[in-house]
Amino acid sequence: QIKNLEEIFEARIARDEKIEPKDWMPEKYRQTHIRQMSQHAHSEIVGMLPEGNWITRAPSLRRKAALLAKVQDEAGHGLYLYSACETLGVSRDELYEQLHSGKAKYSSIFNYPTVTWADMGAIGWLVDGAAIINQVPLCNTSFGPYARAMVRVCKEESFHQRQGFEIMLKLCNGTPEQKEMAQDALNRWWWPSLMMLGPTDAESVHTEQSMKWKLKRKSNDELRQQFIDQTVPQADILGLTIPDPDLKWNESKGSYDFGEIDWDEFWQVVKGHGPCNKQRMKARVDAWENGAWVRDAAMAYAEKNEAKKFK
Ligand code: FAQ
């Protein structure tokens, strides 16, 4: 029976049909989607913290409004993704518990500090830039709710990337100190942005299976190369230097060669030893604990209303 169901499932994947929550799916397909989608959701939620740090200090009302809107979008992305995950039979509370206990990962990139205003530019330009490269192929992923969520998320990320690039452009056309601030932000965010796209294909444990299921449409290395090729000309427009002495156009390949990524640093950050891991987790756990009274009040109100209905 299962064998038959599995064959039908594989044939649907081969025909590029979307798999929907109530359809039969192999248990591993379900689990791997819960893993990737929940880590994606956690990344959006933790990802609000580095930028949230600058909302009260944005240099103008216009910048503040744009940053506030961007951070709110990230909350929205997190909530869609948690909802998409719940369609696979896992509860929101379980997902939060996995994040707060350190069982579930979130993107390494959000464990770096935001020390100057230029970091808001670099995050939008580079981090959202890398996120778009990663997420556009996911609009075509095989699980319906994930694919549909990604369409709107990518549109919003595209606004985020532009607002970041525009911050960088303004700084680069400003005083020498402002340009220096932009260069410093690029120096600090470049390598972590490359790491964000995941370990090399040779080290990536999930890519092979995820490609077969059409969860992933492109490998980590393919996405990283695409990100570099897209971003280097943008740095040229800004008049900034990418902090990689080995970066060089390769005519025969039609793309850039680049230097060695510090994978030790990546794994240290993933394992919880990055510059801000403890601070980020504490912020999320505190928000959960300090918000308990709101959840209790909402539950009490809902129960009271429910009871009234049956009077
Ligand atoms: N950080 O075998 P692979 C955003 C883990 S959203 C931490 O290659 P996979 C928006 C991986 O989970 C950013 N851990 O894994 C925004 C696995 O561990 P596990 C998030 C990482 O899943 C912008 C192990 O290493 N985006 O930025 C990282 O096939 C600005 C082996 O790796 C998504 O989540 C990492 N960077 O490929 C918000 C997109 N990379 O789970 C605010 C969806 C890998 O076995 C401000 N996710 N690991 O314990 C994906 O596309 C994939 O999951 C990858 C990893 C490509 C991230």
pLDDT tens digit sequence for 209-255: 999 999 999 999 999 999 999 999 999 999 999 999 999 999 999 99
Of 204, 222, 265, best ligand 1 pocket probe by most atoms within 8 Å of the beta carbon? 204
- Nearest C-alpha to atom 23 of ligand 1 is from which residue? 128
- pLDDT at position 180: 98
- pLDDT at position 73: 98
- Nearest C-alpha to atom 3 of ligand 1 is from which residue? 204
Give the contacts of 160 (CB within 8 A, at least 6 positions apart): 70, 73, 124, 128
Q: Can you tell me which atom of ligand 1 is nearest the CA of 36?
A: 53
The answer to whether residues 104 and 37 touch, using CB atoms and an 8 Å cutoff, is no
Q: Name residue 19's beta-bridge partners.
A: 143
Distances (CA, A) of 109 to 130, 136, 169: 11, 19, 22
- pLDDT at position 311: 73
- pLDDT at position 163: 96
Q: How far apart are alpha carbons 128 and 259 in whole angstroms?
A: 22
Of 34, 36, 262, best ligand 1 pocket probe by most atoms within 8 Å of the beta carbon? 36
**Nearest one of 306, 165, 174, 287 to 237, comparing CA atoms:** 165
- pLDDT at position 295: 96
Cα angle at 164 between 243 and 281, to 5 degrees? 85
Q: How far apart are alpha carbons 227 and 217 in whole angstroms?
A: 15
**Nearest one of 298, 290, 280 to 100, comparing CA atoms:** 280
Instruction: Enter the ipTM.
Output: 0.98
DSSP-derived 3-state class of residue 136: coil
Q: Can you tell me which atom of ligand 1 is nearest the CA of 124?
A: 30
- pLDDT at position 3: 80
Amino acid at 259: G
- The list of the chain residues with pLDDT below 70 reads none
Q: How far apart are alpha carbons 66 and 51 in whole angstroms?
A: 11
Rounded CA Rg of the chain = 21
**Nearest one of 129, 108, 107 to 232, comparing CA atoms:** 129
Residue for token pair 């709110």: 72
Of 38, 70, 105, best ligand 1 pocket probe by most atoms within 8 Å of the beta carbon? 105
The answer to whether the CB of 47 is under 6 A from ligand 1 is yes
- pLDDT at position 309: 87
Distances (CA, A) of 249 to 1, 183, 232, 256: 54, 21, 10, 4
